[in-house]
A = this chain, B = another copy of it.
Amino acid sequence: MHEHVELFRSIIEDLIPFNKMVGFKLLEVRENFVSILIPYRPELIGDIRRGSIHGGVIAAAMDAVGGAAAATTLKHETDKLSTIDLRVDYLEPGQPRDLITEATVKKSGSKVIFVSMVTYHDTRDKPIAEGRGVFSVTRTKVG
**Interchain CB contact under 8 A, B82 and A85:** no
**Interchain CB contact under 8 A, B17 and A89:** no
Closest to A45 in B: B17
In the assembly, how many copies of this chain are there?
Answer: 4
Q: Does chain B have a CB within 8 A of A30?
A: no
**Interchain CB contact under 8 A, B85 and A89:** yes
Contact code string A73-113 (vs B, CB < 8 Å = 1, else 0): 00000000011111111111100000000000011000110
Report the contact-size class of chain A (Cβ under 8 Å from the partner): 35 or more
Q: Give the B-binding residues of A (Cβ under 8 A).
A: 15-22, 42-48, 54-57, 59-64, 67, 82-93, 106-107, 111-112, 114, 116, 127, 130, 132, 134, 136, 138
Given contacts A55-B83, A84-B134, 12 further A-B contacts (CB under 8 A): A17-B54, A18-B44, A19-B54, A21-B21, A22-B56, A54-B60, A56-B60, A86-B90, A87-B132, A106-B127, A111-B138, A132-B132
